[in-house]
Chain A
Amino acid sequence: SSELTQDPAVSVALGQTVRITCQGDSLRSYYASWYQQKPGQAPVLVIYGKNNRPSGIPDRFSGSSSGNTASLTITGAQAEDEADYYCNSRDSSGNHPWVFGGGTKLTVL
Chain B
Amino acid sequence: EVQLVESGGGLVKPGGSLRLSCAASGFTFSSYSMNWVRQAPGKGLEWVSSISSSSSYIYYADSVKGRFTISRDNAKNSLYLQMNSLRAEDTAVYYCARDRLGESLDYWGQGTLVTVSS
Chain A residues in contact with chain B, CB under 8 A?
1, 31, 33, 35, 37, 42-45, 48-49, 54, 84, 86, 88, 90, 96-103
Judge whether B50 and A98 touch: CB under 8 Å: yes
Q: Which 9 A-B pairs have the closest CB atoms?
A: A33-B104, A48-B104, A103-B44, A98-B47, A42-B108, A97-B50, A100-B45, A102-B44, A45-B106
Check if B108 sits within 8 Å of A43, measured CB to CB. yes
Alpha-carbon separation in the docked complex, A37 to B45 (Å): 10
Q: Which of B63-115 contact A (CB under 8 A)?
A: 95, 99-100, 102-111
Distance in Å from the Cβ of B91 to the closest Cβ of chain A?
Answer: 17
**Contact assessment for B45 and A43 in the assembled complex, using a CB-CB cutoff below 8 Å:** yes
Q: How far is the CA of A97 from the CA of B34 in the complex (A)?
A: 11
Residue pair B47, A48 in contact (C-beta under 8 Å): no
Within the complex, what minimum Cβ distance (angstroms) separates A98 from chain B? 4
Q: List 21 A-B contacts (CB under 8 A).
A: A31-B103, A33-B103, A33-B104, A33-B105, A35-B105, A42-B108, A42-B109, A42-B110, A45-B104, A45-B105, A48-B104, A84-B44, A86-B44, A90-B102, A97-B47, A98-B35, A98-B47, A99-B47, A100-B45, A100-B47, A103-B45
A90 to B22, CA, bound (A): 23
Instruction: Report the interface size for chain B: residues with CB under 8 A from the other chain.
Output: 24
Give the distance in Å from the alpha carbon of A87 to the alpha carbon of B109 in the complex.
Answer: 18
User: Which among B35, B47, B111 has the greatest number of chain A C-beta atoms within 10 A?
Assistant: B47
Since A96-B61, A98-B35, A100-B47 are in contact, a sample of 4 more A-B pairs with Cβ atoms closer than 8 Å, ordered by chain A residue number, is A45-B107, A88-B104, A100-B44, A101-B44
Option from A35, A96, A102 in Cβ contact (under 8 Å) with B47: A96
B59 within 8 A of A: yes
Give the residues from 19 to 77 in chain B that come closer than 8 angstroms, CB to CB, to chain A: 33, 35, 37, 44-47, 50, 59, 61-62
The complex places the Cα of A99 from the Cα of B61 at a distance, in Å, of: 10
